């Protein structure tokens, strides 16, 4: 990384202060640390308009400092690495504002990518493709294309057990993926298709090409690529993410081509495969307004027939305000299955059912408490006590004392060794308030109220 002067820039002191050399940054402190770095980076960014050369040098200095700091940062969250990539994007912008040579910019960038011991440049092309101006993007593509051609020609078609051959093949694939990202960003459809054919067409390629054709307002060709991608994915045991996106795109293209009924049939088939709130919303966009009540009933009935997607179906019923059918689903579902529903979805379901269907709500609250106890997650015992308190209240509202007694008996029989939990559960059973003491801040606010003592 070059500098334009031996005299230190006054802002370098701010960079060094923000990087805090010598102090280790834990994972918990990383977000706050990066927030301080971003404030300095924003100040550098404001220099680009009037002094791009200075901004360029400061970006280089800052990035060098990040590499020096990397050993002192636990970047499990990835926020520090993303910040470093943001510096590279800023550096490119500053270089372009300074009218620097595009080929020199991209050559420097590739040198950094070659010597990236901390992964700051990993898949960098995806982040910076839209930062380059046209000349910069062309130069970057040209240099990466040269690397890909060299690696591809050196790599044998069958790598076998030769380590060097596998390395050459991996390098060729690496630059091919970079070219894919850059061609897609530039909208270079012909170059993308040529590369995909040369390296092996994938479902992801079909999705990218289809989307590029959509931007060119060519739904017929886009649909043919959608069909091609779905056919490629058909032999997989589970659909890929790209195939899921292709399946969503297909009915939209059919509708654009004037095939409304076929679009609806396709969306319906997709919904039947994966009934959830998102596929429901997608389906309903293709249903004529007058037919929506009938299609809604048909969709909900179909979802209730698919037991293996219980959490998704519960979310769907909540999303569509189908409280009555949610009650029916909860009533027929086993306790063990209800225990498998995540707390976020279960809490919404329990809250929705409490007013009109307390018996079913009680089973949901009970299931969440048991879920925590069976997992032995002691740090969540407070949440389990709240769930059991809700369950007790709902059983009382539903006039089902025997069912609540069964919960009590089960907890004492199967979890008698959880001594840190049982005192709180005793308080829930007896109705003592100590199990649900107000929080620290609630007590503090009460103490600090106008009527309290200061």
What mean pLDDT do residues 303-310 have? 82
Give the C-alpha separation, 103 to 97, whole Å: 15
Most confident of 96-100, 126-130, 241-245, 376-380: 96-100
Give the percent of the chain with pLDDT over 70: 93
pLDDT tens across 280-289, in order?
999 999 999 9
Instruction: Please determine, for residue 254, whether its predicted confidence score (pLDDT) is greater than 50.
Output: yes
| pLDDT given at position 211 | 97
Evaluate if residue 443 carries a pLDDT over 70.
no
Give the pLDDT band (50/70/90) at residue 444.
Answer: confident
Per-domain residue ranges of the chain: 1-122, 322-454
pLDDT in tens, 180-192: 999 999 999 999 9
CA distance 415 to 423: 12
0.85 exceeded by pTM = no
Average pLDDT of the segment spanning 253-275: 95
Q: How many CA atoms lie less than 13 Å away from 112 in the CB half-sphere? A: 26
Give per-residue pLDDT as tens, 381-426.
999 999 999 999 999 999 999 999 999 999 999 998 999 999 999 9
pLDDT of the residue at 157: 58
Q: How confident is the model at residue 168 (pLDDT cuts 50, 70, 90)?
A: confident
Q: Is the pLDDT of residue 450 over 70?
A: no
Question: Residue 451: what pLDDT?
Answer: 54
Range with the lowest mean pLDDT among 39-53, 235-249, 383-397? 235-249
Instruction: Report pLDDT for 8.
Output: 82
Q: What is the pLDDT of residues 48-74, one digit of tens each?
A: 999 999 999 999 999 999 999 999 999
- The mean predicted confidence, pLDDT, of the chain is 91
Q: 155 pLDDT exceeds 80? A: no
Confidence at 154, pLDDT banded by 50, 70, 90: confident
Residue 165 banded pLDDT, cuts 50, 70, 90: confident
């Amino acid at each position: 990384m070059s500098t334009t002067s031996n005299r230190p820039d006054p802002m370098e002191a701010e960079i060094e202060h923000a990087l805090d050399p010598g102090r280790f940054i834990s994972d918990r402190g990383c977000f706050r640390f990066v927030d301080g770095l971003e404030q300095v980076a924003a100040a550098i960014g404001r220099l680009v308009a009037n002094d791009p050369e200075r901004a360029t040098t400061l970006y280089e200095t800052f990035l060098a400092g990040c590499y020096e700091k990397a050993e002192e940062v636990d970047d499990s969250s990835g926020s520090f690495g993303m910040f470093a990539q943001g510096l590279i994007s800023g550096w490119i912008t500053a270089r372009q504002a300074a009218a620097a040579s595009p080929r020199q910019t991209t050559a420097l960038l590739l040198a950094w990518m070659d010597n990236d011991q901390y992964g700051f440049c990993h898949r960098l092309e995806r982040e910076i493709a839209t930062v380059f101006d046209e000349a910069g993007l062309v130069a970057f593509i040209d240099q990466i294309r040269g690397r890909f051609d060299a690696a591809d020609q050196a790599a044998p078609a069958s790598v076998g057990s030769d380590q060097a051959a596998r390395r050459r093949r991996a390098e060729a694939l690496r630059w091919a993926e970079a070219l894919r990202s850059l061609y897609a960003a530039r909208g270079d459809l012909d170059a993308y298709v040529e590369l995909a054919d040369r390296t092996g067409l994938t479902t992801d390629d079909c999705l990218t090409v289809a989307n590029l054709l959509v931007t060119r307002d060519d739904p017929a060709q886009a649909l043919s690529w959608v069909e091609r991608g779905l056919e490629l994915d058909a032999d997989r045991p589970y659909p890929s993410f790209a195939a899921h996106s292709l399946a969503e795109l297909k009915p939209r293209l059919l509708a654009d081509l004037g095939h409304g009924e076929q679009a609806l049939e396709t969306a319906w088939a997709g919904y039947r495969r994966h009934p959830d709130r998102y596929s429901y919303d997608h389906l309903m966009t293709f249903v004529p307004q007058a037919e929506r009540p009938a299609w809604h009933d048909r969709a909900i009935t179909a979802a209730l027939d698919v037991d293996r997607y219980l959490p998704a179906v519960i979310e769907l019923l909540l999303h569509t305000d189908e409280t009555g059918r949610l009650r029916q689903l909860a009533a027929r579902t086993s306790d063990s299955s209800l225990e498998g529903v995540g707390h976020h979805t279960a809490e919404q379901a329990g809250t929705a059912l409490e007013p009109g269907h307390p018996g079913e709500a009680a089973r949901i609250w009970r299931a969440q408490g048991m879920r925590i106890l069976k997992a032995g997650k002691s740090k969540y015992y407070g949440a389990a006590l709240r769930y059991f308190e809700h369950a007790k209240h709902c059983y009382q509202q539903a006039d089902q004392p025997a069912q609540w007694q069964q919960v009590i008996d089960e907890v004492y029989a199967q979890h008698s060794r959880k001594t840190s939990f049982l005192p709180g559960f005793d308080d829930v059973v007896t109705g003592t308030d100590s199990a649900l003491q107000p929080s620290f801040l609630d007590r503090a606010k009460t103490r600090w109220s106008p009527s309290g003592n200061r």
